Amino acid sequence: MEGIMIKAVLFDLDGTLADTARDLGAALNRLLVEEGLSPLPYETIRPVASHGARGVVRLGFGAELGAERMEALRVRFMDLYDANLAEATTLFDGVNELISELEARGLVWGIITNKSMRFTDRLVPWLPFATPPAVTVSGDTVGVAKPDPKPMLYAAERIGIAPEHCIYVGDAERDIQAGRVVGMKTALAAWGYIADGDKPEAWGADCQITHPLELLAHL
């Protein structure tokens, strides 16, 4: 990040700040059982846990679902997840230590997630962050989700910091795409929900970190 003064650190939520895969997986498995199918092992679900409700449903029911069937399963999946939103969800190791250090350095931090407000409005305040985020942008806050740039620009506007002075940390290709297109620096959270078939080295992140505290070396 040479030559760039970072004033804000913005994060993805699922797979970056919070380990939500077990609760998302539990909701999928409840749905599979309801539909007369066998539950999937956690190790199969984890890599797609940040791919949204449709991605998780496709994992369980196949990619060839018709639109009507997909929508019915998606709605039911979201209801099941909503009923057990935070039974097993935790912050990743090192997240709070990082947030505390960002605060100590006078840096702003916030969240830009594709998770809908229905969930983030309850989950984010419940999570035991050392300090609350300065901004939380959900997947439906501005009507479109990442990789569209609008959520990124909205977050920067809300905190009053130009995108080029922000770094965005995420675990998915769309995170890196969305950050790059608006001029933010980007960091790949390698501890997140990355599938074996993904090629994160081709996503173009400015850096890759394997633990939250490693980010400090890039600020």
Predicted confidence (pLDDT) per residue in 115-155, tens digit = 999 999 999 999 999 999 999 999 999 999 999 999 999 99
The residue to which tokens 């995170």 are assigned: 175
82 as an active site residue: the answer is no
Q: Which helix (H) or strand (E) holds 108?
A: strand 108-112
79 as an active site residue: the answer is no
Nearest to 167 by CA among 2, 3, 7: 7
pLDDT tens, position by position, 21-61 = 999 999 999 999 999 999 999 999 999 998 889 999 999 99
Cβ atoms of 151 and 12 closer than 8 Å: no
User: Cα(204)–Cα(147) distance, rounded to whole angstroms?
Assistant: 14
Report the chain's C-alpha Rg in angstroms: 17
Of 14, 23, 171, 175, which one is the catalytic site residue?
Answer: 14
